[in-house]
Amino acid sequence: MSKLRVAVVGAKGRIGSEAVRAVEAAEDMELVAALGRGDKLDVLVESGAQVVVELTTPDSVMENLEFCVRHGIHAVVGTTGWTDERLAQLNQWLADSPETGVLIAPNFSIGAVLTMKFAEAAAPYFESVEVIELHHPKKVDAPSGTAARTAQLIAAAREKAGSAPAPDATATALDGARGADVDGVPVHSVRLRGLLAHQEVLLGAEGETLTIRHDSLHHSSFMPGILLGARKVGAAPGLTFGLEHFLDLNG
Ligand SMILES: NC(=O)C1=CN([C@@H]2O[C@H](COP(=O)(O)OP(=O)(O)OC[C@H]3O[C@@H](n4cnc5c(N)ncnc54)[C@H](OP(=O)(O)O)[C@@H]3O)[C@@H](O)[C@H]2O)C=CC1
Ligand SMILES: O=C(O)C1=N[C@H](C(=O)O)C[C@H](O)C1
């Protein structure tokens, strides 16, 4: 059987360099291109890439995806910084290339995907919920894409269940003391040398708390999700947001 032709864009970065190694080691894949900043995107077409793994920065990702979608190359995207406007733009490009698939995964690690799922399930049963994400100090953005997505899923679950807003009588003396407000859920960002990627969801009710914590200790934690995404994205035209859509979490 022929191998899946995969390219990595952002190949010299922290996660991109790990993805290059993972694709090279996958028996069913061939790494046909590994692009860094300044490399010409035309290489993707010339190399016959079927799937691009996009792991760059929020400033670069849109240009790269526009190129991929216009050339019918499927994309697996880990880069963060997604807004409704950006997603709408991407959907417009995809409308003109209806057979192309794009997977955007705020987090490729199975533990993080499950954290989001567990938090969504638990959120309606507790009065209070807050998210703390903790990352290495070179992380380009805050809050993390995972924390933003977790808070959105929590807020949607609470709205669906008719939950009241979390109680909070705090008068803040300093801006930011209560974190960022993502759909009504406070999200706190820690940047600390020694850390990689971690998240806690704190839930509280009368007389009890529940803490859901996930730790990515090495970039290898993201690789099975990236490879799974690369294998499946070609059969999923349009935009898929979240790796959970490619996993059978109920089986
Ligand atoms: N979804 C997930 O599971 C994960 C997502 N991420 C996300 O992935 C992204 C990258 O993270 P990380 O690897 O830590 O960051 P790095 O800064 O280490 O890597 C980004 C790389 O992309 C390069 N780059 C920037 N623009 C382009 C471009 N136009 N073409 C090719 N290469 C480009 C950068 O080059 P230069 O150094 O010259 O700027 C750099 O080498 C972030 O958004 C991060 O949040 C990270 C881990 C897991
Ligand atoms: O920049 C990182 O490192 C990570 N970014 C992603 C995010 O913003 O959620 C995923 C993971 O947290 C690692």
Question: Which pLDDT score is estimated for 1?
Answer: 80
Cα of 197 vs centre of ligand 1, distance in Å, is 14
**183 has a pLDDT exceeding 80:** yes
**Which position among 40, 71, 117, 135 bears the catalytic label?**
135
Atom 1 (ligand 2) nearest CA:
139
Give the residues across from 53 on adjacent strands: 8, 76
Amino acid 109 reads S
pTM over 0.95: yes
Portion of the chain with pLDDT greater than 70, in percent? 99
Of 54 and 250, which is predicted with more confidence?
54
Whole-number pLDDT of residue 171: 86
Q: What is the C-alpha to C-alpha distance for residues 206 and 211, in angstroms, rounded to an integer? A: 15
pLDDT digits (tens, 9 = 90+) for 6-43: 999 999 999 999 999 999 999 999 999 999 999 999 99
Tokens of 54: 């996009």
**Is residue 135 flagged as an active site residue?**
yes
Instruction: Please indicate whether residue 36, judged by its CB atom, sits closer than 6 Å to ligand 1.
Output: yes
Residues 108 and 229: their CA atoms lie apart, in Å, by 9
Q: 154: which 2 tokens?
A: 């929590």
Is 250's pLDDT higher than 90? no
H or E element at residue 51:
strand 51-54
Mean pLDDT value across residues 98-116: 98
pLDDT in tens, 54-99: 999 999 999 999 999 999 999 999 999 999 999 999 999 999 999 9
Predicted pLDDT of residue 248:
85
- Angle at 100 (CA atoms; ends 235, 219), nearest 5 degrees: 75
pLDDT score for 18:
98
**For residue 123, pLDDT beyond 70:** yes
Q: Name the average pLDDT for the chain.
A: 97
**Confidence at residue 251, expressed as pLDDT on a 0 to 100 scale:** 56
